[in-house]
Chain A
Amino acid sequence: MSNKSNQRQLRAKNPKKTLVRLFSYFKYNKMMFFSGIFFIMFSSVAQIGVNAMLSPIIDTLVGDHNRGLFIKYLIYMGILVIAVTISEYIGNLLMARLAQKTVHKIRQDMFSHMEKLPISFFDTHSHGELMSTFTNDVDILNQALEQSVSQITLSVVTIVGSFVMMLLLSPILTIIVVGMLMIMLLFVKYVGQRSARNFRNQQAALADMNGYIEEMMSGQKVVKVFNYEDRAIDEFSTKNEFLRKSSTEASTFGVMLMPIMGNLSHILYALISIFGSFLVMKDRLSVGNIASYLQYTRSFSRPINQVSNQLNTLFAALAGAERIFNILDEEVEIDEGDIRLVEDKNDKKSYWKVPMKNGEFEMVPLKGYIAFKDVDFGYVEGKQILNDINLYAKPSQKIAFVGSTGAGKTTITNLINRFYEINEGNILYDGIDIKRINKFDLRSTMSIVLQDVHLFEGTIADNIRYGRLDATDEEVKEAAKLANAHYFIKHLPDGYDTWITADGQNLSQGERQLLSIARAAVANPTILILDEATSSVDTRTEKLISEGMDKLMEGRTTFVIAHRLSTVRDSNAIMVLEHGEIIERGDHDDLMKQKGRYYALNTGAIELD
């Protein structure tokens, strides 16, 4: 885990392209963006105006004591201050709204896109990484849009504006300012680079540390059982010391810029005072001029500091945006199937509506006949998992897959509903190649019950209804009864309305399995794919589960990854898989006679006594 985090790209590879694409997200809110920028620019110009008023005000006081003029300037200043306040708020608010809207849209796009990605995407990308893009990267993008854009605009306008004003007030003094500015920029560049590098080191050390903590805390009981505590403490201390060093350094460099820039501007202040006073004495500058000139030098260092800070955020955000766009650019699941499932109004039966060359449609009744013809498959190119699979299942038949881990049992079942695309051969459904069937309709005729039950946050009824969203309460209850789940649900505090937390942690393993059977039952599928559980549930629950499964299988074409002898025994056909090939096939009696692998598996269990 730590290695993966280290490898996370911290700089965008192609910042320009990413930036352009990011701007395309503003297209619905173009007005908002430009008026936001406008108000921010206006407020910074007004702010410069406020400072500019200081000079004539002081001059009227020190010089000719013109009371009327003094009051007039003071009123101007007051108006400008109010203008700054209002336009700053409106500008920032517009940018914040824009940021929220953009991020909201990006989040929604990412989620919708994620839902369309093929299963293979989720196999090859770690969940932690994806989560981090969804949370951290989106968050920093939000921050950049909300603050960086307006801060940088503000700072640049302030710097440029102050500079122009200074130039107008005294070109000679401005030479000193330019000299100092160079020095400041050198500092910003040096410290900024060091700080960015140290910050990256710190992030890497932190990720490494967090990974270690997560792992050790999750396995803490194992640590105790193996007396591993001292070794864990040693390793922890090493990582901790490394983290301490890198964060100390990162933070030192991060904080250092503030006193440096602040005091450099003080030095500038002193230099301006000295040379300014010379000019005053030679009557080339008024006292009021020098006062406001000094005010400008004060307001100079902060924006420079800020730009360098915000640029860091901006770069981090661009790197994040690039990762976001990488996800959005992932190829979605292909679905070129044009054969739809339709219900005949007269006989209430479902038919595949197959288009023919002459423009007419052929109606093929939905029955549940599945055939594999010379199917080859591999998750990655060049590494074949399944070789030359041939099999067929007639409607309502039960086909069992038996074999050791990694033999390819689960893989076969994942091909039927097109979680993965096969490399060679054909899979036929009621005689139609499944590639030609619309994926939505294909999957709507199938249900899967997996070993590893996944439930969703919501009520028990919601979770059962996941199988068919328009199922009535009555139908939900019926399904639960069929799955033997009704009994335990009734005994829950709120019955069918009991709230399940994320992934059903408050239910036992067995209860979750019963729920997933009910969920499949309510969908009333033509084809059923079952993965019988091996996890340890007590005998009574196990009995309930197997009865539920047996009832569910009745009258449906069923593919089952079998662990129970009883399931296997009454299957119409048993496929024994080894290294991606069907090595034995037939019903129980055939296979027992063959005295092959199936026979060995069977007798192995009884061999003990």
Chain B
Amino acid sequence: MKKVIHLMEKYKIYAILSPILMILEVVTDIVIPYLMSRIVDIGIANRDIDYIVKVGLLMVLSAVFGMVFGVLSAYCGARAGYGFAAELRNETFKRVQNFSFANLDNFTVSSLITRLTNDCNTIGQVTMMSLRMAIRAPFLLLFALIMAFKINSSLAKVFLIAIPTTVIIMFIGLKKARPLFLKLQTRIDRVNAIIQENLTGIRVVKSFNRQKHEEGRFEERNDALRDLALEAISIALLVSPILNLIIYSTIISILWFGGQQVVIGSLGGGELISFISYIMQVMMAIMLLSMFFMQFLRGSASMQRILEILNTESEIKEKSNPIKELKDGSISFDNVSFIYLKSNEKTLKNINFKVNSGEILGIIGSTGSSKSTLVQLIPRLYDATDGSVTVGGADVRDYDIKSLRDQVAFVLQKNTLFSGTIRENMKWGNENATDEEIIAALKHAQAWEFVSQYEDGLEHRVEQGGDNFSGGQKQRLTIARALLKSPKVIILDDSTSAVDMATDAQIQRAFKENLGDVTTIIIAQRIASIQHANRVIVLHEGEIEAIGNHEELMKSSPVYREIYESQQKGVIGE
């Protein structure tokens, strides 16, 4: 809690005002039944019109104040609650932006999304409720009890039975209903899972004629959901009538015991009526408290999940006085090993190699040979566990991270585009890129050919994730985006796998012709994509099996030769 309380700073005044105003509103709520009893017992009993009018106007006045306090308290509470939630959301988003790749690996995307959306919203609501309900309920309870005891302490002893009974029943109800409602959530999830599955797999369902089969599966889960929902609801619905029963039982017993006092004359009729009002208020307060308690549990679970993000520190740290400029595109790995955070095994073992500026380096190897891991060390997406990675003549750890990543362009294997226009997506590479520069980059990536065919050209809409493009088109767009950074090093991590052979060859040619001084690293499955490289690393289970150009490797590396031969059957088309 300490870690986030400062986020309230901007809205401090509202956070303080809201409960104060709420207490004032409660005071008017309490005063009114008291004034009421004065009217009946003194005003009417003595037939004192002046007194009645005076007290009546006092009541109207308190009600007006109560209204003003109430509205203001609602306003302040909302400002403080949602203000706090907004600050928290901002802080959390910023923290995620500071995450390293290793941090990101620890959180699933969907869990990050729920934390930023649902959890933050819940905290906003709960904060608002805490400022209002959590203050209102105990004060209401306290004041109403005081008043009740003041009116008649012997009668007020009824509360000693009524309150514990209510609390116990609420508690039992919660305890019985909670697990059912938790289980209900998983049943809902199971129903939704089948819908989701059928939406994405509808072609499979239809081509295998499995509609009836799916309906059966759905029915089973739908029935299970209904049955449990009915069970849970039968319990939850009990709470309100039972509470009602308790309230009126209390009232009846008050009438019974109080009635006798009225007869003796030790209690006024008006007092009895206001006593009954206080009973209602006390019970309401208890109900409010139990509701608040439920909300609070929800809120603290959310807060816990947010704190998990806020407490995560990026382990990639910048040095003071970092270097801002890469001298050139040369790269060298000196005895580099790497271990992923949660594993004990070395993913990379003693990697040594050198690439001169402007050269093309190919990397090939089967899945799991850690090709991606190796290249991710270059823009410092991860830090090497042992040894050193040098780019442009200096250790990557000596650079300003932003500058390093600006000058080392990386086309990820799992790449994505963002909703917006093609131009907006291209500007990720360079905010100030002109249309000419964008078109040039698209041409080099062989993407202009299809982009130019759109009527709206660069203005063409990109759906979320770039889902309205084919795999090959998407890859070409992401390559163009990376080229716009005008980097000194460009890394293509299996970035042309969905592009057809002819286009792939054109991309390679365009790279050779236009990016003469840029160091290019290409990870590929196809030999054809890296055949022309100055040097090829054959990676096998995290170790360099062989290094050399195509001709040399054909002679020296059995792994390379095997891959080559299996691909001789070739691939055609897109």
* Pairwise interchain contact B207-A108, C-beta atoms closer than 8 A: no
In residues 219-264 of chain A, which contact B (Cβ within 8 Å)?
A: 219-233, 236-237, 240-241, 243-244, 247-249, 251-252, 255-256, 258-260, 262-264
* Pairwise interchain contact B464-A1, C-beta atoms closer than 8 A: yes
Closest to B523 in A: A536
Q: A541 — which chain B residues lie within 8 A by C-beta?
A: 367
Interface size on B, residues (CB 8 A): 162
Contact code string B122-166 (vs A, CB < 8 Å = 1, else 0): 001000100010000000000000000000000000000000000
* Pairwise interchain contact A131-B196, C-beta atoms closer than 8 A: yes
Query: In the complex, what distance in Å separates the CA atom of A467 from the CA atom of B208?
Result: 6
Closest to A605 in B: B501
Q: A200: shortest Cβ distance to chain B, in Å?
A: 17
Q: A122: shortest Cβ distance to chain B, in Å?
A: 5
Query: In the complex, what distance in Å separates the CA atom of A269 from the CA atom of B35?
Result: 11
Q: A256 — which chain B residues lie within 8 A by C-beta?
A: 70-71, 74-75
Q: B53, B219, B416, B574: which contacts A108 (Cβ < 8 A)?
A: B219
Q: B368, B563, B574: which contacts A534 (Cβ < 8 A)?
A: B574
* Pairwise interchain contact B71-A259, C-beta atoms closer than 8 A: yes
If A213-B116, A222-B412, A539-B566 touch, does A228 touch B428 (CB 8 Å cutoff)?
A: yes
Q: A340 — which chain B residues lie within 8 A by C-beta?
A: none
* Pairwise interchain contact B570-A564, C-beta atoms closer than 8 A: yes
B472 within 8 A of A: yes
In residues 428-461 of chain A, which contact B (Cβ within 8 Å)?
A: 440, 443-444, 446-448, 450, 454, 456-457
* Pairwise interchain contact A456-B201, C-beta atoms closer than 8 A: yes
Q: A61: shortest Cβ distance to chain B, in Å?
A: 4
Q: B412 — which chain A residues lie within 8 A by C-beta?
A: 221-222, 225
Q: B198 — which chain A residues lie within 8 A by C-beta?
A: 111, 114-115
Closest to A219 in B: B416
Q: B243: shortest Cβ distance to chain A, in Å?
A: 10
Q: Is the contact region of chain B dominated by helix, strand, or loop, or is it mixed?
A: helix
Query: In the complex, what distance in Å separates the CA atom of A258 from the CA atom of B204?
Result: 53
A360 within 8 A of B: no
Q: A288 — which chain B residues lie within 8 A by C-beta?
A: 269
If A248-B78, A260-B67 touch, does A224 touch B405 (CB 8 Å cutoff)?
A: yes
Q: A103, A215, A218, A405: which contacts B470 (Cβ < 8 A)?
A: A405
Query: In the complex, what distance in Å separates the CA atom of A143 from the CA atom of B498?
Result: 48
B77 within 8 A of A: yes
* Cβ contacts A to B, 7 pairs, < 8 Å: A61-B263, A108-B219, A134-B195, A220-B96, A244-B86, A539-B566, A605-B571
In residues 181-203 of chain A, which contact B (Cβ within 8 Å)?
A: none
From B251-259, B341-349, B351-359, B387-395, give the one contacting chain A: B251-259
Q: B10: shortest Cβ distance to chain A, in Å?
A: 11
Query: In the complex, what distance in Å separates the CA atom of A602 from the CA atom of B571?
Result: 9
Q: A236 — which chain B residues lie within 8 A by C-beta?
A: 90, 93
Query: In the complex, what distance in Å separates the CA atom of A260 from the CA atom of B69?
Result: 10
* Pairwise interchain contact A535-B498, C-beta atoms closer than 8 A: yes
Q: B16 — which chain A residues lie within 8 A by C-beta?
A: none
* Pairwise interchain contact B66-A266, C-beta atoms closer than 8 A: yes
Query: In the complex, what distance in Å separates the CA atom of A404 from the CA atom of B572?
Result: 10
Contact code string A572-609 (vs B, CB < 8 Å = 1, else 0): 00000000000000000000000000001110110111
If A100-B230, A263-B64, A405-B574 touch, does A537 touch B101 (CB 8 Å cutoff)?
A: no
Q: Is the contact region of chain A dominated by helix, strand, or loop, or is it mixed?
A: helix
From A26-34, A88-96, A162-170, A487-495, give the one contacting chain B: A88-96
Q: B475: shortest Cβ distance to chain A, in Å?
A: 11
* Pairwise interchain contact B213-A270, C-beta atoms closer than 8 A: no
Instruction: Identify 18 new A-B residue pairs, CB closer than 8 A, beyond the known A78-B252, A232-B97, A291-B40.
Output: A58-B272, A74-B255, A77-B248, A104-B226, A111-B195, A119-B203, A220-B104, A233-B93, A248-B78, A256-B71, A267-B63, A280-B44, A403-B574, A443-B206, A443-B207, A447-B207, A450-B204, A605-B505
Interface size on A, residues (CB 8 A): 153
Q: Which of A220, A540, A600 has the most C-beta atoms of chain B within 10 angstroms of its own C-beta?
A: A220
Q: A309: shortest Cβ distance to chain B, in Å?
A: 15
Q: A607 — which chain B residues lie within 8 A by C-beta?
A: 502, 505
From A10-18, A271-279, A374-382, A477-485, give the one contacting chain B: A271-279
Q: A217 — which chain B residues lie within 8 A by C-beta?
A: 96, 109, 112-113, 116
A65 within 8 A of B: yes
Query: In the complex, what distance in Å separates the CA atom of A557 from the CA atom of B106?
Result: 48
From B232-240, B295-303, B432-440, B514-522, give the one contacting chain A: B232-240
If A402-B573, A538-B366, A568-B572 touch, does A220 touch B66 (CB 8 Å cutoff)?
A: no
From B54-62, B173-181, B317-325, B330-338, give the one contacting chain A: B54-62
Q: A84: shortest Cβ distance to chain B, in Å?
A: 6
Q: B35, B93, B416, B508: which contacts A222 (Cβ < 8 A)?
A: B416
Query: In the complex, what distance in Å separates the CA atom of A267 from the CA atom of B65?
Result: 11
Q: Which of A130, A240, A273, A568 has the most C-beta atoms of chain B within 10 angstroms of its own C-beta?
A: A273
Q: A1, A70, A270, A564: which contacts B259 (Cβ < 8 A)?
A: A70
Q: B559: shortest Cβ distance to chain A, in Å?
A: 10
Q: Which of A103, A236, A467 has the most C-beta atoms of chain B within 10 angstroms of its own C-beta?
A: A236
Query: In the complex, what distance in Å separates the CA atom of A115 from the CA atom of B216?
Result: 12
B327 within 8 A of A: no
B202 within 8 A of A: yes
* Pairwise interchain contact B222-A107, C-beta atoms closer than 8 A: yes
* Pairwise interchain contact A271-B464, C-beta atoms closer than 8 A: no
B339 within 8 A of A: no
Q: A259, A503, A608: which contacts B69 (Cβ < 8 A)?
A: A259
* Pairwise interchain contact B25-A608, C-beta atoms closer than 8 A: no
Query: In the complex, what distance in Å separates the CA atom of A296 from the CA atom of B52?
Result: 20
Q: Which of B56, B379, B429 has the most C-beta atoms of chain A within 10 angstroms of its own C-beta?
A: B56
B422 within 8 A of A: no
Query: In the complex, what distance in Å separates the CA atom of A88 from the CA atom of B239?
Result: 11
Q: B99 — which chain A residues lie within 8 A by C-beta?
A: 220, 224
Query: In the complex, what distance in Å separates the CA atom of A108 from the CA atom of B218?
Result: 8
**In the A-B complex, the 7 residue pairs with the closest CB atoms:** A259-B70, A604-B502, A270-B59, A565-B570, A274-B56, A454-B201, A244-B86
B229 within 8 A of A: yes
B543 within 8 A of A: no
Query: In the complex, what distance in Å separates the CA atom of A54 from the CA atom of B197?
Result: 60
A281 within 8 A of B: yes
Query: In the complex, what distance in Å separates the CA atom of A71 from the CA atom of B69?
Result: 43
Q: A155: shortest Cβ distance to chain B, in Å?
A: 14
B245 within 8 A of A: yes
Q: B117, B205, B273, B367: which contacts A115 (Cβ < 8 A)?
A: B205
A294 within 8 A of B: yes
A397 within 8 A of B: no
Q: B563 — which chain A residues lie within 8 A by C-beta?
A: 539
Query: In the complex, what distance in Å separates the CA atom of A274 from the CA atom of B402?
Result: 75
A406 within 8 A of B: yes
A466 within 8 A of B: yes
Query: In the complex, what distance in Å separates the CA atom of A403 from the CA atom of B500?
Result: 10
Query: In the complex, what distance in Å separates the CA atom of A274 from the CA atom of B204?
Result: 76
Contact code string B366-385 (vs A, CB < 8 Å = 1, else 0): 11100000000001010000
Q: A136: shortest Cβ distance to chain B, in Å?
A: 11
* Pairwise interchain contact A111-B237, C-beta atoms closer than 8 A: no
